[in-house]
Amino acid sequence: MTQTEQLKMHNFNAGPSILPKEVFEEASRAVLNFNDTGLSILEIGHRTPLFEAVLQEAISHARELMKLDSDHEVLFLHGGASTQFMQVPMNLLDTNEVAAYTDTDVWGTKAIKEAKLFGHVEVVAGSKDKNYTYLPKGFRVPATAKYLHLTTNNTIYGTQWQDLEAFYAYNVPLVADMSSDILSREIDFNRFDLIYAGAQKNIGAAGVNMVVVNKNILGKTTRQIPTMMDYRNHIANGSMLNTPPVFAIYICMLTLRWLTNNGGVEAIQKKK
């Protein structure tokens, strides 16, 4: 497989993903006639068995592709990774607590800016000094950090944390923005307490986030969290707290199904 072909499947650039042709074809049909119901995917109610099946299949494929344990929940939430930049600290960081952040790209910088609104941020590693052209090594993380945040793949400057073992050794909860490399390589996803990915890069189209969260890290802050921002509400309501982004979740489901039918993460990684 040439590099160009590989990019067609997983796009490591800042732009949107290039989805498999089968996904476009099925989605195009579903806009007129979803699963031979005579209804458009755009007009089916989100509380119907028709959409319930779409959502459950998306969650099921995600769970299997990522080999998630029972502590980890899969959510599909409104917004993009930029929404998660605020939602993560709002849920995990109290005003007087410290979160550790890595600053290895504009995305990390944006995440840091939002986290500072909710608590203390310690930038434990960064590469701003050389315009984000490298990834720092051997840095220290305070044992008191509520979590350590990293961006696994840095699209603008083209760096990727290939070896995540060093992060596991810090023994603090790990939070990762995996927007641009999720499901493109094998990762022990259960080592992370919170993973988020704007769908438009690797798992679908713009307008939805996939969030994988270890439910045990939630509910430990004293802040009153707005209903739509509290991960616990979305878990309790199975990503149906309000009308979800139906079509965007449908595209994720088709993409995740395609990944499953094509050998999963292992096969995708080998094709590189």
Binding flag, residue 52, its own copies (CB under 8 A):
no
Among 245, 253, 264, 265, binds its own copies (CB under 8 A): 245
Binding flag, residue 106, its own copies (CB under 8 A):
no
CB of 102 to its own copies, least distance (A): 19
Binding flag, residue 20, its own copies (CB under 8 A):
no
Complex with its own copies: residue 1 or 42, whichever CB lies closer: 42
Complex with its own copies: residue 147 or 247, whichever CB lies closer: 247
177 is catalytic: yes
Q: Which of residues 25-44 bind its own copies (CB under 8 A)?
A: 25, 27-29, 31-32, 40, 42-44
Binding flag, residue 156, its own copies (CB under 8 A):
no
188 is catalytic: no
201 is catalytic: yes
Binding flag, residue 78, its own copies (CB under 8 A):
yes
Three-class secondary structure of residue 99 per DSSP: strand
Distance of CA 68 to the CA centre of its chain: 14
Distance of CA 170 to the CA centre of its chain: 22
Binding flag, residue 206, its own copies (CB under 8 A):
yes
- Burial class of residue 101 (count of CB atoms within 10 Å of its CB; 0-12, 13-18, 19+): buried
Q: Which residues contact 164 (CB under 8 A, 6 or more apart)?
A: 152, 187, 188, 191
Are 252 and 199 spatial neighbours (Cβ–Cβ below 8 Å)?
yes
Among 93, 178, 251, 252, binds its own copies (CB under 8 A): 251
CB of 62 to its own copies, least distance (A): 19
Q: Which residues contact 185 (CB under 8 A, 6 or more apart)?
A: 265, 268, 269, 272
Q: Which residues contact 55 (CB under 8 A, 6 or more apart)?
A: 76, 238, 239, 240, 244, 249, 253
Catalytic center residues: 107, 177, 201
